[in-house]
């Protein structure tokens, strides 16, 4: 009898409380769900509902106030700061709303930069950069600077930068937020293609049009899960 593989991510009664001037703000309360390898989950809800806070915790950029977060079966509260940084660099790919590209580096150099922190040989870095840029259809822009690209193209480069590290999970925080509808649709289609190719994706969005493209949607309101649903069709 074969055993069911453990989820890539497991959250149990996760909470995040911010204390300011003796006022408690409950950003997250009682969050429990899991994400399997190869899953595509959207975290949806209105502004201020806790979506980005949850994604920051998933990406080890923030820590929960209580509850349990298991990543590949290991509680993240056991990790040292050095271990958290290593996992962020090796296992987690980030795509942000604001692209976060470095203006005086070329497209290829932007994609390569995180790989240099891992001590990879130059030949492997070059191969990974080429592979990632080809996946997002931007190899022909490898020598361009970010300012020479459209917003949609810059976001594709940001996705390539995340993919080049061969992450276990890709975290996308409002990846269409700074794009017009046409470019936003193109980026969502790119994420769908990556998912069909086996990528594990968690995307935060306030737009229900984009949320429905994921295989599963977790709806947040006031820091709590109010609904979780599988896609009706894809």
Q: What pLDDT score does 47 carry?
A: 87
**Cα separation of 146 and 215, whole Å?**
32
Task: Tell me if 87 sits within 8 A of 75, measured CB to CB.
Answer: no
pLDDT tens, position by position, 12-65 = 999 999 988 888 889 999 999 999 999 999 999 988 899 999 999 999 999 999
> Torsion-angle region of residue 92: left (phi > 0), alpha (psi -120 to 50) or beta?
beta
- Residue at 25 is within a domain: no
pTM: 0.89
Using the predicted structure, report yes or no on whether residue 234 has a pLDDT greater than 50.
no
Give the mean model confidence (pLDDT) for residues 145-154.
94
| Mean pLDDT rounded to a whole number for the chain | 91
Token duo for residue 57:
């915790």
- pLDDT of 2 > 70? The answer is no
Which domain CATH number covers 167? 3.40.50.300
What is the span of the domain harbouring residue 140?
38-61+81-230
**pLDDT tens by residue, 67-85:** 999 999 999 988 999 999 9
Instruction: Specify if 139 maps to a domain.
Output: yes
| Residue 24 placed within a domain | no
Cβ atoms of residues 107 and 142 within 8 Å: yes
Phi-psi region of 178 (alpha: psi -120 to 50; beta: other; left: phi over 0): alpha
Alpha-carbon gap, residue 18 to 227, rounded angstroms: 24
Mean pLDDT over 5-12 rounds to 89
Quick check: 207 pLDDT over 70?
yes
Instruction: Work out how many domains the chain is built from and give that number.
Output: 1
């Amino acid at each position: 009898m074969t055993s069911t593989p453990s989820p890539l991510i497991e959250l149990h009664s996760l909470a995040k409380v911010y204390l300011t001037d003796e006022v408690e703000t409950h950003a997250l309360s009682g969050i429990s769900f899991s994400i399997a390898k190869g899953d595509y989950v959207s975290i949806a809800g209105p502004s201020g509902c806790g979506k980005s806070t949850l994604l920051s915790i998933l990406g080890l950029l923030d820590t929960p106030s209580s509850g349990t977060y298991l990543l590949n079966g290991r509680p993240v509260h056991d990790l040292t700061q050095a271990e958290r940084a290593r996992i962020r660099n090796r296992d987690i790919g980030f795509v942000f709303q604001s692209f976060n590209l470095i203006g005086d580096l070329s497209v290829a150099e932007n994609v390569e930069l995180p790989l240099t922190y891992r001590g990879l040989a130059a030949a492997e870095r070059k191969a990974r950069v080429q592979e990632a840029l080809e996946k997002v259809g931007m190899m022909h822009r490898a020598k361009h600077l970010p300012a020479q690209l459209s917003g949609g193209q810059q976001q594709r480069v940001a996705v390539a930068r995340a993919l080049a590290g061969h992450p276990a999970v890709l975290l996308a925080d409002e990846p269409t937020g700074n794009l017009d509808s046409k470019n936003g649709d193109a980026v969502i289609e790119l994420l769908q293609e990556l998912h069909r190719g086996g990528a594990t994706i968690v995307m935060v969005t306030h737009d229900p049009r984009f949320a429905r493209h994921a295989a599963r949607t977790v709806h947040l309101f006031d820091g709590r899960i109010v609904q979780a649903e599988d896609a009706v069709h894809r």
